[in-house]
Structure 1
Amino acid sequence: MRELILLRHAHAEPAGTGQADLDRPLSAVGLAEAEAAGKWLKENKLLPDCVLCSPARRTRETLEAVLGITGYTEQKLEDGVYDATPGTLIGLVADRTDVQRLLVVGHNPGLEQLVPFLTDGSSSDYRGMPPGGIAVLSFEGESAIEPGAATLTQFWWP
């Protein structure tokens, strides 16, 4: 069984005047949420083998806080995760079928839309992922990364 862990970035500061969305940092609350996410992953023995992370500052800071608790692993900043559609995310995940447990740190609406798409093939019924939220999806054996192929095994938020 392979696992895909989706982590939405924690709460970020609003953009300042002239500040690009990519440059928004975590807020103090967001840092606490990211640390709580790392603790939850570690307590549940959900340590990733590899991480794909959006290049946005808030996702990088979320990941840094998480890995500071869980321990460091292979990681790659992936431009495609920022502002990604579920289709883009599936493509990125499918490119890493060599990884047993992949963590993707990204944004809504892509992450919150990806969960029902992978679990039941739905593209319109999703409930959201709060900041710092984690969804753990499992794939049996060598199942393809495609709509309806996954099982949502855990969902957590700070």
Structure 2
Amino acid sequence: MKTLFLVRHAKSSRDDPSLPDRERPLDDRGRQDAPMMGKRLGKRELKPDLLVSSPALRALTTAQLIADEIGYPRKNIVVDERLYASSPDDLLAVICALDDKLNRVMLFGHNPEFAELAHRLSSEITDMPTCAVAEFRFDAKAWADVRGIGPSKVKLDAPRK
């Protein structure tokens, strides 16, 4: 069984238009929503084997805040350039290349790519609001198999649910 979590970064600030896109921080709502979503995940006693984040500040901060709530060490978060300004196909390639020893992986990134990939994996998901967590369980032994099969279970959670 492989479980994939796609986590869209929490609400970010656009207060400083001079900041490059990668350096935009979370706004106040984002700094509240990320720990709240982490607490929800923590109550489910999820123990991910790996957290992978886009290098953008808003995604990495979201990953760190959620990691704190689920007991995942911040220092173990992997930053992967391929999760920033990518395509759904590129994201799927990252997923299919994951080490098969890993069973539960969380990816932190951006829309529209995350929503498009989530919809491709399951037509049940049509949108991913900020800080949404899409969970997909696959009856598979290898991550590469995810490309060719549909998930056996799909769940979407978001701060305003």
Q: Considering the TM-score relative to the shorter chain, is it more than 0.5?
A: yes
Are the counterparts in 2 of residues 119 and 152 from structure 1 also a CA contact under 8 Å? no
Aligned length: 154
5+ long unaligned stretches in structure 2: none
| Residue 155 of structure 2 corresponds to residue 149 of structure 1 | no
Within a 5 Å distance, the mapping from 1:1-20 to structure 2 comes to 1-14=1-14, 16-20=16-20
Per the alignment, residue 98 of structure 1 pairs with 101
Within a 5 Å distance, the mapping from 1:25-64 to structure 2 comes to 25-64=25-64
Question: CA-atom RMSD, angstroms?
Answer: 1.7
Task: Give distance in 2, aligned partners of 1:130 and 1:157.
Answer: 7
Task: Give distance in 2, aligned partners of 1:23 and 1:64.
Answer: 15
Are the counterparts in 2 of residues 112 and 126 from structure 1 also a CA contact under 8 Å? yes
Q: Which has the larger displacement, 45-54 or 1-10? A: 45-54
Are the counterparts in 2 of residues 119 and 148 from structure 1 also a CA contact under 8 Å? no
TM-score, normalisation: structure 1: 0.90
% identity of equivalent residues: 26
Classify the secondary structure of the residue corresponding to 1:128. Answer: coil
Amino acid at match of 2:57: R
Task: Give distance in 2, aligned partners of 1:112 and 1:62.
Answer: 17
CA deviations over 1:42-100 (Å, ceiling 9, x no partner): 11122211011000000111111111111124321000001121111111111113310
Per the alignment, residue 112 of structure 1 pairs with 115
Tell me which stretches of 4 or more aligned residues in structure 1 moved more than 3 Å.
none
Are the counterparts in 2 of residues 117 and 148 from structure 1 also a CA contact under 8 Å? no
Are the counterparts in 1 of residues 50 and 102 from structure 2 also a CA contact under 8 Å? yes
5+ long unaligned stretches in structure 1: none
Task: Give distance in 1, aligned partners of 2:7 and 2:102.
Answer: 17
Are the counterparts in 1 of residues 138 and 153 from structure 2 also a CA contact under 8 Å? no
